C-alpha cells in the first residue's frame, strides 16, 4: 500500500506526522510512504523519509498513485486526479474559533473557492476533535461524508507518559533554564496582513514584556507561517524566536503559559491543563469586520481576554492568581472542546483506516 502525506503544504508536522509516527511504531504490514515536501522545510524531515517536492510533476505522480492520502489542509493542484479506490483522509489542522470557508465573513474569489470545494469533494474521511468540532467543520465545508470523531492525533504527545521528559529535552535544547517561566506567544494571522509587503506589526513589544517579567521568564515567539514577512525582534536573551521550530507541540510542552489571540492553538494547549491568556488587541476589528467567531471568546474562551499589553503584563505577573480565578472557565472549555483528548486519538484514526 502506498501512502502519501501532506502537512501545511510541505512540512513534517501536525496530525499527519502524529499518524505517520504512530503507524510506524505500531509495526505490521510494511507500506510505501511518500511525503510532499517544501524544499524550504526539507531539513525538518527525519533521515530516511522519502519526499517529493510539492507542486511539481513528481508530487502529482505520487498523488495519482496513492492508495491512501493523508493531509491536514487542502491540496490545490489542478492536474491531480484522485485514483479510483484511493482513500483521502483529511485531518484538518484545528478547531475553528475564527469562521472559515463558507462560514467566513469574507469569501475568496470564486475560482479559489471552486478549487477548494473540488478538494473537499475528494475527501472520504474527515477527522474531528469533538462533537462541537464536527458541527463547525461540517458547516464550514458543507461536508456530508464520513467523520472520524476521535480527538486530534497531534495532541497525543501532550498526554504521553514521557511528556515531562519530553518537556525537559525541549527546554534544554532551547536554552531555557530550570525554574524559568516560559511564555509562548502564538498568534494567528490577519487576512489583511498576510500578503508580503503589507504593514504587519507584531502587536506585541516582546522585549518590553520580557523586561517587565524579569530574569525568571522567557518569551517564546511563534509567528504564524503565513507571516514570515512580519518584523520581529532578534532572537536572543529572554526573547526567543521559535517560529521555525518544526513542531509546535514541543513548544506547548516547554511552555508554562500560552498567550494567543484567535488561534486554534488555544484548543490544543488547553489539553495540557496550563493557563491560557487571550491577548486580543484588535478584537473588534477581527471579530466584527475581518473574520467573525464561532462562539463568544470573551465569555467562553479558556482564559481571560486582555486588550492591551499593560493588561497582558499584569496577568502574566500574577499568573497563579489568574489561573485560579479562571479555573472553572478553563474546565468548561476543555469539557466542550477537549473531552476526547486522552492520548490515543492516533490509534483510533489508524484503526478506522488500517484495521488490524
Domains of the chain: 2-155+342-353 (3.40.50.11820), 161-337 (3.40.50.12580)
Q: pLDDT class for 94, splitting at 50, 70, 90?
A: very high
Does 15 score more than 80 pLDDT?
A: yes
Asked if 273 contacts 291 with a C-beta cutoff of 8 angstroms, the reply is no
Q: pLDDT class for 113, splitting at 50, 70, 90?
A: very high
Does 161 score more than 70 pLDDT?
A: yes
Q: Which of 97-101, 201-205, 319-323 has the lowest mean pLDDT?
A: 201-205
Does 200 score more than 90 pLDDT?
A: no
Amino acid 235: pLDDT = 82
Amino acid 129: pLDDT = 96
What's the mean pLDDT in 41-58?
A: 94
Question: Quick one: CA dihedral 319, 295, 271, 187, positive or negative?
Answer: negative
Q: Which residue is associated with the grid cell 465573513?
A: 105
Does 116 score more than 90 pLDDT?
A: yes
Q: SS3 for the chain, per residue? A: CEEEEEECCCECCHHHHHHHHHHHHHCCCCCEEEEEECHHHHHHCCCCCCEEECCCHHHHHHHHCCCEEEECCCCCCCCCCCCCCCEEEECCCCCCCECCHHHCCCCCCHHHHHHHHHHHHHCCEEEECCHHHHHHHHHHHCCCCEEEECCCHHHHHHHCCCHHHHHHHHHHHHCCCCCCEEEEECCCCCCCCCCCCCCCCCCCCHHHHHHHHCCCEEEEECCCHHHCCCCCCCCECCEEECCCCCCHHHHHHHCCEEEECCCCHHHHHHHHCCCEEEECCCHHHHHHHHCCECCCHHHHCCCCEECCHHHHHHHHHCHHHHHHHCHHHHHHHHHHHCCCCCCCHHHHHHHHHCCC
Q: What percent of the chain has pLDDT over 70?
A: 98
What's the mean pLDDT in 114-124?
A: 95
Asked if 209 contacts 283 with a C-beta cutoff of 8 angstroms, the reply is no
Q: Which of 25-34, 166-175, 178-187, 197-206 has the lowest mean pLDDT?
A: 197-206
Asked if 72 contacts 15 with a C-beta cutoff of 8 angstroms, the reply is yes
What's the mean pLDDT in 21-30?
A: 89
Does 356 score more than 70 pLDDT?
A: no
Asked if 240 contacts 218 with a C-beta cutoff of 8 angstroms, the reply is yes
Amino acid 17: pLDDT = 97
Amino acid 197: pLDDT = 65
Mean pLDDT of the chain: 93
pLDDT tens-digit readout, 230-252: 777 778 889 999 998 989 999 99
Q: Rounded to whole angstroms, how far apart are CA atoms 266 and 55?
A: 31
Q: Rounded to whole angstroms, how far apart are CA atoms 37 and 51?
A: 6
pTM: 0.94
Q: pLDDT class for 227, splitting at 50, 70, 90?
A: low
Q: Which residue is associated with the grid cell 495540557?
A: 272
Give the bridge partners for 300, in sequence order.
none
pLDDT tens-digit readout, 249-298: 999 999 999 999 999 999 999 999 999 999 999 999 999 988 899 999 99
Does 314 score more than 90 pLDDT?
A: yes
Does 355 score more than 80 pLDDT?
A: no
Amino acid at each position: 500500500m502506498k501512502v502519501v502525506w501532506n502537512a501545511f503544504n510541505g512540512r513534517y508536522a501536525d496530525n499527519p506526522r502524529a499518524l505517520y509516527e504512530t503507524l510506524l511504531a505500531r509495526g505490521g504490514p510494511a507500506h510505501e510512504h511518500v511525503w510532499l515536501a517544501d524544499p524550504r522545510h526539507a531539513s525538518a524531515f527525519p533521515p530516511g523519509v522519502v519526499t517529493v517536492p510539492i507542486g511539481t510533476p513528481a508530487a502529482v505522480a505520487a498523488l495519482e498513485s496513492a492508495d491512501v492520502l493523508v493531509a491536514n489542509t487542502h491540496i490545490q493542484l489542478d492536474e491531480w486526479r484522485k485514483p479510483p479506490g484511493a482513500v483521502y483522509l483529511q485531518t484538518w489542522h484545528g478547531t475553528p474559533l475564527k469562521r472559515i470557508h463558507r462560514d467566513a465573513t469574507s469569501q475568496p474569489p470564486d475560482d479559489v473557492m471552486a478549487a477548494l470545494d473540488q478538494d473537499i469533494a475528494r475527501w472520504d474521511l474527515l477527522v474531528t476533535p469533538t462533537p462541537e468540532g464536527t458541527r463547525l467543520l461540517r458547516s464550514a465545508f458543507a461536508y456530508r461524508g464520513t467523520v472520524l470523531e476521535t480527538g486530534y492525533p497531534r495532541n497525543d504527545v501532550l498526554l504521553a507518559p514521557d511528556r515531562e521528559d519530553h518537556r525537559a529535552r525541549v527546554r534544554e535544547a532551547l536554552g531555557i533554564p530550570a525554574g524559568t517561566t516560559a511564555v509562548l506567544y502564538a498568534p494567528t494571522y490577519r487576512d489583511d496582513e498576510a500578503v508580503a509587503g503589507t504593514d504587519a506589526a507584531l502587536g506585541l513589544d516582546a522585549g518590553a514584556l520580557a523586561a517587565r517579567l524579569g530574569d525568571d521568564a522567557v518569551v517564546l515567539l511563534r509567528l504564524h507561517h503565513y507571516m514570515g514577512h512580519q518584523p520581529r525582534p532578534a532572537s536572543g536573551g529572554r526573547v526567543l524566536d521559535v517560529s521555525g521550530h518544526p513542531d509546535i507541540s514541543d513548544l506547548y510542552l516547554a511552555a508554562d503559559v500560552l498567550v494567543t489571540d484567535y488561534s486554534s492553538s488555544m484548543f490544543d494547549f488547553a489539553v495540557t491543563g496550563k493557563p491560557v491568556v487571550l491577548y486580543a488587541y484588535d478584537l473588534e476589528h477581527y471579530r466584527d469586520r475581518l473574520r467573525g467567531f464561532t462562539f463568544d471568546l470573551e465569555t467562553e474562551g479558556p482564559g481571560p481576554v486582555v486588550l492591551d499589553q499593560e493588561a497582558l503584563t499584569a496577568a502574566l505577573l500574577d499568573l497563579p492568581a489568574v489561573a485560579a480565578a479562571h479555573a472553572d472557565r478553563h474546565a468548561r472549555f476543555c469539557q466542550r472542546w477537549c473531552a476526547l483528548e486522552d492520548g490515543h486519538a492516533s490509534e483510533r484514526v489508524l484503526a478506522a483506516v488500517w484495521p488490524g
